[in-house]
Structure 1
Amino acid sequence: WPYPAARRDDSIVDTLHGQRIADPYRWLENANSTETKAFVEAENKVAMDYLKQDSKWEAYKQTAGQLWDQEMVQYIRKKPNYYFTSIYSRGNNNHHAIYRHKTLNGKKELFLNMDMPSQNGFFYAGYSVHSPSGKFLAYAADSNSEEATIRVVCAEDVEGLCKDKGPTADVVQGDINVPFIWTHDERGFFYTKSVKSSDKQASSDANAGTGNTLYYHRLGTQQSQDQLISLPPEAQGWISTVDLSSDGKWLMISLRGDSTTSLWVAPMDQNSKGVPQKPSFRMLADMGNDNYSYIATQGDLFYFVVNEGRPQCRVIAYDVNAPNGQFVDVIPAKDGHQISSAYAIARNHILVQYFQGGVSTLVVYEMGTNKHARDIKLPLGSVKNIWARPDDGEVFFSHESLLSPETVYRYDFASNALSTISEAKIPGFDASTFEVRQVSVAGKNGASFPMFIAARKGIQLDGSHPTLISVLPRNGPTYPSWFNNLGGVFMQHFRGVYVLIRTSNGSPGDSDADKKNGQQPFQHNIDNIKSASAYLAQHKYTKPALLAVHGKSFEGTAVAAALNQAPDQLGCALIERGVMDLPRLPREAQSIPLQQPFGDPEEKEDFDRMLKYSPLQHVDGNRHYPAMLFITNTEPFRNVPWHSYKMVAQLQHKLPNNPRPLMLR
């Protein structure tokens, strides 16, 4: 391969904790030097000249562009007169709008364009809230980072306020904190606003506190007339959430202090019009460090989900009229499944989303008895958003899988039926001919991990199929990624086998399981990549020459390390923005966030651990490596491009005659 010559300076040697570490390509760390720029330009030319030899190169690019330009559903809201659907078109057609339609599958009519003109071009009106009946929509026009403007548009003619699809005269401005909450009578909405010394609205109110304050805005009035909602003197902290109970009888706020959060409630005045002049707040509970999200109210019981998305998450209830009221566990996590979210549906039921190994399951419970009612069967994947109302049995949710970036489903509680509303499809790819299965792979030291395989239905397991492993981060239990564009392009053009495994990138030494079996935490991820590739070959999905692996950032580091340790198990690797030279992590300010899964090389224990697998230090010139393409850019977030530069220079130096290309782009 016509690799460009890269100067080596063998005089540069660091000594850390008694270990001598050669760094002959230190000069590549200077991204702005003429020599580095020439190296990158030459490497790019070699890579692009080679890649463009593929006759389908332009077709791959076209498919990737089509996937990026997909329309994604932001929400579906059912109201008495209309369904409202918010759609975001990403990519080159970047556009966001809210549509309305009389029936679920009826013709969509543009209701509000969320990309709005301003003095500085266009800005995105990001946050919006429909009123209970759908008569009004309040939205926050985010014109800059410090100030937002709440405006209101009508979905029907309202005498004295507005025409259908037209704005009201209401304007609420300032450092507005979303969300804002409509009252059930639709006469106005609550909002919170950060307080500044120059804030005339707050300074005119004697009861305004510090931090942020809660206001009520009545439609058709000036912001200067907005009602400040006074809190008791003992209610201290930042107002982090504001809710109205599902029956409209209670106003709820959470106050976050230095080390604790408290939950306060006040009855709404049901006998008068509007909001009480001085709501009578009382504290329900000091929640400590827990995080509570309101679900619904049934009678005197308030339902919450606590520590949403965390291992200790559970659904709880509170009797507001009990003499010594306290929270009672209603639905705990079960069988290794973590509760991600919970919603009230069908008047007296709770829909709970569980996660296990990145897979979503939906379960319905009876409210009050807490009995299991039914399971909602889903394909393998992750539920991203759920749109539900406490008094309605029609539920919508978006779902991501290996075969589609988004499928929107409708669940009808009365018939217990699930139907597809829309699907973001891979152009030219028939997902119905594929199926996704989950297998358990035995890792090192006997620990197993889940692997997800998308393959054609009826596939002959004869080792002849091109296969791509995507190594993706776990990202906690709540929103793990499934689909990526690379996998979509691969399935569309190669009709091969697409595989997903996940890493666990916690801090070094924080895994009890790894401590028990003597495993290094990050080495555990490396071993899982090797075990996954071995499984696919042993079960005849593919063979090493037809097996590719892809990883980005931390996962790219794991892929590079796995190739150093077992280069004969793979035929190709794509590594994006990986960290290759671990002993050099603390030398760059922007590298500090990258230390998380590896540790700090200045600490001997961390250094000894990472040196065992640091990719740059373990390139083996006596073995053949698979084809490798390193992709990087100059974006600062979790990316220091010289890691890839140095790794490619080292590979090309030690393996100049490698039968497969080792390239940088």
Structure 2
Amino acid sequence: MDYLKQDSKWEADQLKSYDVVRSIHKKPNYYFTNIQVKEDKEHYRIYRQKTPNGKKELFLELGASDQDGPFYVGNPMHSPTGKFLAYFTGPNLRETTTRVACAEKVKGLCEDKGHTADVIEGRPAFDITWSHDDRGFFYTQLGRPRGKQASSNASAYHGAPLYYHRLGTQQSQDQLISLPPEAEGWISSVDISSDGNWLMLSLRGDSTTSLWVAPMNQNSKGVPQKPSFRKLANMGEGNYSYIATHGSRLYFIVNESRPRSKVVAYDMNAPNDGLVDVAIARDGHEISSAYAIARNHILVKYIQGSVSTLAIYEMGTNKHVRDIKLPLGSVKNIWTRPDDGEVFFSHDSMLNPQTIYHYDFASNATSTISEAKLPGFDASAFEVRQVSVAGKNGASFPMFIAARKGIQLDGSHPTLISTVSISGTWYTPWFSNLGGAFMKHFRGIYVLTHVDYVPPGDSGADKKNGQHQFVQNIDNIKSASAYLAQHNYTKPALLTVHGANAEATAVAAAVNQAPNQFGCALIEKGIMDLSRLPRDDRDFTLQQPFGNPAKKDDFGLMLKYSPLQNIDDNRTYPAMLFITNTEPFHNVPWHSYKMVAQLQHKLPNNPRPLMLREMGDPDKDSFSGWRARRTAARADMLSFVATSLGLKQNA
């Protein structure tokens, strides 16, 4: 097993060795590309170039490997003209300093590739927002207002106060932005309209989110001392994300990345009309995000059947213009400008962790800018197909199957199922180091299945028979494994099922109910004794997938599928490896210990191993330490599968 572990460790480690493109921003003089350096989470290089495929010139390096100790790098933000780049760094998130770098010589401020004298001490609550004229930026900062301004404005701030910093001035001179007395809640986002005429704030209260706007006088120096804010709308517990301005209309996406999200418009010249729908979920699509492009168009990212799709609409008429063709996978990030027809987007799939595409609106052409290079993994030798699996309750859920091209469906292929339980727009197929190493190392099939998939518009609850959603998740795991065997991708003796957190609990429950459907199970940080879940309402995040044991109806149902209480000592179990660590949040380590002890006690003669693997204490301040532990755990998981199922390397 040692040689398998070493080979598996090398495979898993190799598939992590690639640079990640974090952003591409087009500005008047340059394209800026922010690259996260492989093997170092907090090491970034920002390059600039004259054309998308032109020669790269290093502009700024953040968090270099010679930095002593841990290092935190915030999200760099370019000014509208691209002359300035603001970023914040520090030893950790709580101790950061904001600086401004220059992309050209600016008289009285800085040299090209140099820094201005501006320094903002303290942690910003979220990204900064540049004013339209490049003169300065807005930022929020955790803490109380400073100095004389605090006494007269303190009532306006329940969270982080909002400041405006003008370039070339001291932090002590920053302007505290006053909010009206009726503005309740804390600031959750700050935006400047694409035409520079409006300052927009989203305020989040205990049970509602409100949207406020104030006019900006671009001819004045700085911003109004007391901006005249007015409330545009209340959104209950939802949220707003600003897209762009076209004429007198402000465009927003409501409930971004949530079910029933939509694109809406507000006409500043017709306030009585309120928010008017522009694009809504259609034909099984859910809206994930939206962006303004080509002066008067909106690019909408949809999720359809757990796959990303892109559609373009015309502002004003709301007419659907066209769709952008994409390979099967997930669009993670989109970078564009409201007045430009060039779009860059990052695309992930089960075969490649990142491909950067360039789309030109005028020619309707898509081209590849860059592709992550994975040593020893030839993605062109594999293919991904999407299938629909019928669940026990009649509802179908999507499953993605990655395998070598041209394989014979004869039931002879080792197969690894990873169960995913992230509802709605968040779930799309992505590259997995574990799955990639399994496919390459053992010539296996890798499968992603969405066990709690809920079609758009469906509540997800089976109200006809009172079935809990989590029971459906267990049934769907069994349905997925049955599908793969029935269609001759594999057979139970060669099938491994993997789940983490809540999905790990579902996997353990599925193995209890149908141990003959699996050859091996990998169970990461699951809760095994549901009767011992915390009963305090404050622990709702742990209770949410399963129920609250303090409630009689929930408790009775939870006992029926709680893994610890339902081990069947009259059946043979597959090989099982439980992975845990000593971090109590969300996984409660003793659950795995107790489950393995009970399995070994009740099944002393089980012919297949029932084992525990502890990852140790997570070092929160060391990414390299966490990465090394994670890689070692992945190697042990692959070695356990190979040994338990009798798999041969590159067979």
Task: Confirm or deny a common fold (TM above 0.5).
Answer: yes
Asked if 1:453 is matched to 2:394, the reply is: no
Q: Which amino acid aligns with 1:210?
A: Y
Judged with a 3 Å threshold, the aligned counterparts in structure 2 of structure 1 residues 652 and 262 are, in CA distance, closer, same or farther, namely closer
Which of 420, 443, 449 pairs up with 2:368?
A: 420
| TM-superposition CA deviations, 1:82-118 (whole Å, max 9, x none) | 2111122354675223222233223333322221799
| SS at structure 2 position matched to 1:622 | coil
C-alpha deviation, 1:370, in angstroms: 0.6
Q: Secondary structure at the match of 2:118?
A: strand
Q: Is the 8 A contact 1:69 1:93 kept in 2?
A: no
Q: Secondary structure at the match of 1:56?
A: helix
Q: For the structure 1 residues 92 and 288, does the alpha-carbon distance in structure 2 shift closer, same or farther, using more than 3 Å as the test?
A: closer
Among 179, 183, 192, the alignment partner of 2:140 is 192
Partner AA of 1:249 in structure 2: N
What do residues 380-406 of structure 1 show as CA deviations (whole Å, max 9, x unaligned)?
Answer: 222211111101111111122211222
Aligned residues: 609
Matches within 5 A, 1:397-436: 397-436=345-384
| Deviation digits for residues 457-494 of structure 1 (CA, Å, limit 9, x no counterpart) | 22211111111111112154235563322111111212
Moved more, 585-594 or 462-471: 585-594
Q: Distance in 2 between matches of 1:318 and 1:589?
A: 39
**Contact 2:155 2:181 survives alignment (8 Å):** no
Q: Structure 1 281/107 Cα, relative in aligned 2: closer, same or farther at 3 Å?
A: same
Quote the residue 1:20 is aligned against.
none
Go from structure 1 to structure 2 and tell me whether the alpha carbon gap of 1:512 and 1:262 turns closer, same or farther (over 3 Å shift). closer
**Which residue, 114, 124, 130 being the options, matches 2:78?**
130
The 10-residue stretch of structure 1 (402-411 or 92-101) with the greater mean CA deviation from structure 2: 92-101
Is the aligned partner of 1:202 residue 2:161? Answer: no
Corresponding residue SS for 2:534: helix
Change (3 A) 1:594 1:227: closer
Is contact 2:288-2:301 (8 Å) kept?
Answer: yes
CA change 1:512–1:468 in 2 (3 A) is closer
SS at match of 1:444: coil
What is the one-letter code of the residue matched to 2:231?
A: M
- Secondary structure of the 1:375 match is strand
Cα distance in structure 1, aligned partners of 2:236 and 2:604: 60
* 1:426–1:492 CA contact under 8 A, matched in 2: no
Partners of 2:533 and 2:178 in 1: CA distance: 50
User: Aligned pair 1:355/2:303, yes or no?
Assistant: yes
Shift of 1:119: 11
Deviation per residue, 1:134-159 (Å, 9 max, x gap) = 11001123455545432111011111
Contact 1:474 1:504 in 2 (8 A): yes
Question: What is the Cα deviation at residue 61 of structure 1?
Answer: 0.2
How far is the alpha carbon of 1:590 from its aligned partner? 11
Residues 195, 210 of structure 1: 8 Å contact kept:
no
Structure 1 residue 121: Cα displacement: 4.0
- Are the aligned partners of 1:208 and 1:230 in contact in 2 as well (CA < 8 Å)? no
How far, CA to CA, are the matches of 2:534 and 2:186 in structure 1?
36
The one-letter amino acid paired with 2:149 is A
Assess if the C-alpha contact under 8 Å between 2:535 and 2:549 holds in 1: no
Q: CA separation in 2, counterparts of 1:204 and 1:588?
A: 38
Alpha-carbon shift at residue 170 of structure 1 (Å): 0.8
Q: Distance in 1 between matches of 2:604 and 2:228?
A: 77
How many angstroms apart in 2 are the aligned matches of 1:591 and 1:281?
A: 38
Does the C-alpha gap of structure 1 residues 419 and 323 become closer, same or farther in structure 2, counting only changes over 3 Å?
closer
Q: Give how far 1:166 is off.
A: 0.8
Query: For residues 231 and 66 of structure 2, what CA distance do their matches in structure 1 show?
Result: 43
Offset of residue 423 of structure 1:
2.4
Percent identical across equivalent pairs?
70
CA distance in 2 between counterparts of 1:605 and 1:259 reads: 28
User: Of the candidates 12, 24, 28, which is equivalent to residue 64 of structure 1?
Assistant: 12
- TM-superposition CA deviations, 1:161-205 (whole Å, max 9, x none): 1111111001123453322211222111122334527x2273487
Q: Does 1:217 align with 2:165?
A: yes
Distance 2:512 2:345 in 1: 43
Q: Residues 68-107 of structure 1: matches in 2 within 5 Å?
A: 68-89=16-37, 91=39, 95-107=43-55
Question: What residue number does 1:164 align with?
Answer: 112
Residue identity matched to 1:338 = E
Give the aligned CA root-mean-square deviation in angstroms.
Answer: 2.7
Matches within 5 A, 1:246-645: 246-322=194-270, 324-478=272-426, 480=428, 482-504=430-452, 513-586=461-534, 593-645=541-593
Task: Using the TM superposition, give the Cα deviation of residue 451 of structure 1 relative to its aligned residue in structure 2, in angstroms.
Answer: 1.0
Asked if the contact 2:72–2:92 (Cα under 8 Å) also holds between the matched residues in 1, the reply is no
Q: Which amino acid aligns with 2:167?
A: L
Greater shift, 226-235 or 124-133, is seen at: 226-235
| Cα separation, partners in 2 of 1:589 and 1:648, compared to 1, 3 Å | farther
Query: Taking CA–CA contacts closer than 8 Å with sequence separation of 6 or more, which of the two structures ends up with the larger relative contact order?
Result: 2
Question: How far does residue 329 in structure 1 lie from its aligned partner after superposition?
Answer: 0.8
TM-score (norm 2): 0.87
SS of 1:525's partner is: helix
Q: C-alpha offsets along residues 325-362 of structure 1, whole Å, 9 cap, x if unaligned?
A: 41111111112221111000111110001113422111
> For structure 1, which runs of at least 5 residues remain unmatched after alignment?
1-50
Cα offset for 1:411?
1.5
How has the CA–CA distance of structure 1 residues 277 and 521 changed in structure 2, closer, same or farther, with 3 Å as cutoff?
A: closer
1:538/1:663 CA distance change after superposition, 3 Å = same
Is there any run of 5+ residues in structure 2 with no aligned partner, and where?
A: 614-651
In 2, the alpha carbon distance for the partners of 1:483 and 1:261 equals: 35
Paired letter, 2:293: I
Looking at structure 2, the residues matched to 659 and 621 of structure 1 have their Cα atoms a distance apart, in angstroms, of 13
- Which is further off, 115-124 or 550-559? 115-124
Matched residues in 1 for 2:445 and 2:275: separation? 49
Q: Displacement of 1:297 after TM fit?
A: 0.5
Asked if 2 retains the 8 angstrom alpha-carbon contact of 1:86 and 1:96, the reply is: yes
Give the conservation status (yes or no) of the 8 Å contact 2:259–2:424: no
For residues 192 and 642 of structure 1, do their structure 2 counterparts lie closer, same or farther at Cα, with a shift above 3 Å needed? Answer: closer
